[in-house]
Structure 1
């Protein structure tokens, strides 16, 4: 199962991408839909929200007055945290039930507006960020949603910054032109990256082809994310590994990440596509257990490269994601016997 976390700031165009991925066969887990269900009339979630904020956040029909609650929480960080503490656990439980019922070879897309804010990036094989400049998003909210400009600006300020969201991205879909361009980029992402990534994971094999340094050979700009590749991979491994294991840069000669210094439309450095990491198994730890965890995180065992016969023995892994060239070596600390 390929797990994708889809996020983006308000009015960035995330819903357009989510619908297209669902049309292509992905299992869509929509956090907004689940959040609405969590506080629907008669639910324990709504009772908890009323207890926290008072009956004035209810409408005449007894349901949640969302504009009233929005004005309250987007202007007060403490109130927002209180609401999140009520809604988020319920959303995660509902999402887990949907995912558990999905086929083993599914592409599961979790549409999570606050993915970065809630620290969930590391649990996904792929974090896809739909991005647009703040000024353009404000214009969209004013023109298409009828919001006051100041309210729109406050909504954006209440979310994580655009830069922080982009730094968590494994793939970026830039939406600063039009819907047709965004849909074309989404199709490219599905065809050239998501489908082969899913197929490689299902087969337990690394990607066959290595991307060109700097990403020049990829057909759609931004598919490999923007920066911090090694840090992002380290986070995914840390989240999956057994206790006691650690992740460090590999000392292999080709382990330095590559990437051109020019700028993308996101304003961040051009894509970095190459990294080499080492998972250090503590003394007495099971290399096989750590190796299985690395494979589950999106880096299958590379059967073409044997780690047997080495001193100490190691388990080599390579990325199943065709847009990156990442090697992960699992073994004892260097110098251990």
Structure 2
């Protein structure tokens, strides 16, 4: 089965592109969403997280205390790296079992913002990078995340791998720059992947 990765920095529109593929019947693994699910349901990871970050990592009801964890890791690169080192291996294993559940499909997709940083790209056969220029991304994010300032948005973007590097490493690029239509680009890639999967 062909495994397609989809990545891009915050605000480029990865989720919109993934939804279009999903409407075409392609199973899409949302790494961020699944990471939260794994942290909530994997007992081994829960123990690892509690050991590393304290009992407050989970509420009494067993829910992940995201605000508490964010406060610890957001401005501390070492603690963020520690969190990622614990979570990413479990998410990689979760992806493999998810793929096995879609063996009847010609191809599946994995959406991840940190595709390269987390080494998730090693599980992928071909990669799409979604691109939007910085001014468009900032405008979108300020509309979407009304609690954030432009400085907040720029700080998040600066922590991610540069768009230039993501595009250089990608096999395909979808331009979501408010200048080009996204659906025709997705349809062309969908046809390409179906053909590739049948080879």
* Larger relative contact order (Cα-Cα within 8 Å, sequence gap ≥ 6): 2
The separation in 2 between residues aligned to 1:149 and 1:61, in whole angstroms, is 35
Kept in 1, the 8 Å contact 2:88–2:118? The answer is no
TM-score when scaled to structure 1?
Answer: 0.53
The separation in 2 between residues aligned to 1:148 and 1:61, in whole angstroms, is 32
Kept in 2, the 8 Å contact 1:31–1:110? The answer is yes
Kept in 2, the 8 Å contact 1:27–1:106? The answer is no
Report the counterpart of residue 118 of structure 2 in structure 1: 118
CA displacement at 1:105 relative to structure 2: 5.2
1:271-282 to structure 2, matched below 5 A, reads: none
Write out per-residue CA displacement over residues 76-122 of structure 1, whole angstroms, 9 at most, x where no aligned residue. Answer: 22111101011111111111111123225520111122111123435
Write out per-residue CA displacement over residues 155-196 of structure 1, whole angstroms, 9 at most, x where no aligned residue. Answer: 111211111111110000111107x822332122212x2121
Write out per-residue CA displacement over residues 255-296 of structure 1, whole angstroms, 9 at most, x where no aligned residue. Answer: xxxxxxxxxxxxxxxxxxxxxxxxxxxxxxxxxxxxxxxxxx
Report the counterpart of residue 32 of structure 2 in structure 1: 32
Report the counterpart of residue 148 of structure 1 in structure 2: 149
The separation in 2 between residues aligned to 1:123 and 1:62, in whole angstroms, is 30
Distance 1:181 1:65, change over 3 A: farther
CA displacement at 1:58 relative to structure 2: 4.8
Distance 1:24 1:177, change over 3 A: same
Kept in 2, the 8 Å contact 1:74–1:158? The answer is no
> Relative to total residues, which structure has the larger helix share, 1 or 2?
2
Kept in 1, the 8 Å contact 2:29–2:95? The answer is yes
Report the counterpart of residue 66 of structure 2 in structure 1: 66
Query: What secondary structure is seen at the aligned counterpart in 2 of 1:39?
Result: helix
Kept in 1, the 8 Å contact 2:40–2:62? The answer is no
CA displacement at 1:65 relative to structure 2: 3.2
TM-score when scaled to structure 2?
Answer: 0.86
The separation in 1 between residues aligned to 2:184 and 2:70, in whole angstroms, is 33
Distance 1:54 1:46, change over 3 A: same
Query: What secondary structure is seen at the aligned counterpart in 2 of 1:130?
Result: strand
Give aligned pairs, total. Answer: 198
1:41-80 to structure 2, matched below 5 A, reads: 43-58=43-58, 63-80=63-80
Report the counterpart of residue 23 of structure 2 in structure 1: 23
Kept in 1, the 8 Å contact 2:92–2:120? The answer is no
Where in structure 2 are there 5+ consecutive unaligned residues? none
The separation in 2 between residues aligned to 1:67 and 1:102, in whole angstroms, is 34
Q: What CA RMSD, in Å, does the superposition of the two structures yield over aligned residues?
A: 2.4
Kept in 1, the 8 Å contact 2:84–2:118? The answer is no
Report the counterpart of residue 271 of structure 1 in structure 2: none
Report the counterpart of residue 197 of structure 2 in structure 1: 198
